[in-house]
Structure formats: C-alpha cells, structure tokens
Amino acid sequence: MKVLVTGGNGFLGRAVVAELLARGHTVRSASRRPSPELDALGVRTLTCDLRNAEHVERAVQGQDAVVHSAALTRLSGARGDFVRTNVEGTRAVVAACKTHGVARLVHTSSPSVVFDGRNHRGADESLPYPRRYLAAYPETKALAEREVLAANGPRLATLALRPHLILGPGDAQVLPRLVARARAGELAIVGGGHNQISFTWIENAAVAHADALERLEPGASCAGRAYFVAQKEPVELWPWLAELFTQAGIPAPTKRISRASAYALGAACELAWKLARRAGEPPMTRFLALQLACDHSYSIAALERELGYRERVSTAEATARLVALLRGG
C-alpha cells in the first residue's frame, strides 16, 4: 500500500514509518519539519501544518491509507492551540481522505480520552468518555477520536489506537522529564505508591499501527472501533521506577506527597502559569497529579483478538533496554 504517516518525523511516527517500510509498503511522511533521516530511507517527506487544509490535501492525495499520528501533546497551553491541531487538523485529514478516495485511516489516540481521575486497572474498551476533562490535551484528543470513528463508512474505514506512555529510544517527553526531576531531587512519590500502570515500548506501538492498517478495510469488524495498546504485563509505577533508576545509577525518589496535596499543587501551578502568561509547562498539573497517583493499566485482549497483534518486546526486555539507555545517557 501507499501509506501517508502524519507526524512521520516524530517519536512514534518514525517507528511506524520504519515498520511499514519493513513490511514492504511505500511510505510518505508529512511533518512540520524536514527529516533528512527519513529522506535517507527513501521516504518522500512533505512539510505539513495540520492547521492548513491545503497542506493536508496535498499530503493525502494519491495515498491508499493514512496513519494519523501527528498531534499537539503538551500537558498545558492555550485550549485554542489544541483545538486547531488536534480537532480541526484531524477533521482536515478525514475530509482529505474522503475527497481523495483513501480507504483506510488509522488514528493515533490516547487512553487519556477515557481517563476520569479514578482507578482503572486492567480496563478494556468499554470505558466511557468522561463528562469533563482536566486538560485540553485529553479533551481534544477525545473530540478527534470521536470524529474519526464517526467517519467510518462503506468507503472510508477508520479505527483509533490508544497507545499508553510510549517509551524507548528517542522519547523526549516521558522518561527524560522524570529522570531530570529525580536527579534534581524534585521527584516525589504521589499517593500510596502502588498504583498500577501500563506503558508501551516504541517498537510494539509501531507493530500495533501496522497490524491495524493491514487488518482495516471497509466493512471489517474492527472498523469504527478504538483499541488500547500497551505492554501485556503492567507495572507498579513507583517500585518499577525505583528499580529502573537504581540499576541506572539515578537517585530513586523517596519523598512523598499525598494525592490531594499534589492535586492542589497542580491547580495552583496551572493558575499561576495562566495569570503570568508563562511559556512552558508548569511542574505539576491536576491531570499529571492524578496520572502519578492512580491506576491506569489497560487490557490488550481486543487488540490481540481482533487485530492479530503479538507483542514483540516484553515488559522485562523493555525495562532492561531502558536501563541500558539511561546508563548510556
């Protein structure tokens, strides 16, 4: 197939491009910045701003399928920025797919679209969307996911994947920030310290996207549905981080803060950043406080059963690779 990957120059996008190339597909990438790395692989790269419908039309034209992984992923910021990229940008991708006769659209979503601040342990896709969100990112990703799934039909088949906490070489969002805080002595255990979470090794996330693309077609049973993507084996966040950091020679967190205190701190930081119109992300937000304190682990039974997914890198192997990465850093 001829496949467009939006955000192909990003952390997940590059891995998806590599996996699709390995399976014999012809890949085009659309990203905000040029990518010599992808050019070297023979991938046609286009500069594309999702907020520009003409850019999106040009990128989608002539393709058989689209993997839409581009998004604005910060934990804070002006809601309008998230709406324009995550909602309106996704809407433009859907419209372009319909205009140019694209038959398959795999949308990268997030488990945060169903996170309501309560404990979710081993949850499946029956979780409903919450009535309110604590941040613009999960809210706009939920709006985008719903539009993609609603667009599923006899000519354009759509589905959404919800990879959780993607880790691996090239991650600039999750683990590097935790490591920086741990080394500065600023990382504290939030809540009871035994909350169970899922994460996703980058290669596994890419495999799931390629599997979904190859199973998806108009009328397929998977069309119009959302699927969690995660390691089969979840971890207890704080003991797992302590083991990971200790093996890598990084100070493990020992300070503690209650969930309620972290939530209050997050609310105060959000207000301070808003009033001061400060750039960048605050050190704590309400959404982050709950993510650090609550269970959020997910079942991949549906992904395995309906999309034929098989985990390539186990949790134990992913953990060993993370230790090696941290030692090398």
pLDDT of residue 329: 59
Average pLDDT of the segment spanning 275-302: 93
Q: Give the pLDDT confidence of 43-84 residue by residue, as tens digits.
A: 999 999 999 999 999 999 999 999 999 999 988 888 999 999
Tens digits of per-residue pLDDT, 170-217?
998 899 999 999 999 999 999 999 999 999 999 999 999 999 999 999
What confidence tens digit (pLDDT) does each residue in 130-181 have? 999 999 999 999 999 999 999 999 999 999 999 999 999 999 889 999 999 9
> Residue 43: its pLDDT value, please?
93
Please report, for the chain, the start and end positions of each structural domain, with discontinuous segments joined by +: 2-166+198-230+297-312
Burial grade of 304 (CB within 10 A; 0-12, 13-18, 19 or more): middle
Residue of 73, 278, 311, 86 whose CA lies nearest to 211: 311
Structure tokens at 5: 């990957």
Annotated catalytic residue, options 137, 227, 263, 309: 137
- Asked about 227 being catalytic, the answer comes back as no
Q: How far apart are CA 286 and CA 264, in angstroms?
A: 7
What fold, for 2-166+198-230+297-312?
Answer: Rossmann fold (3.40.50)
What percentage of the chain has pLDDT greater than the value 90? 91
- Residue 222's contacts (CB-CB under 8 Å, 6 or more residues apart) are 159, 212, 215, 216, 306, 307
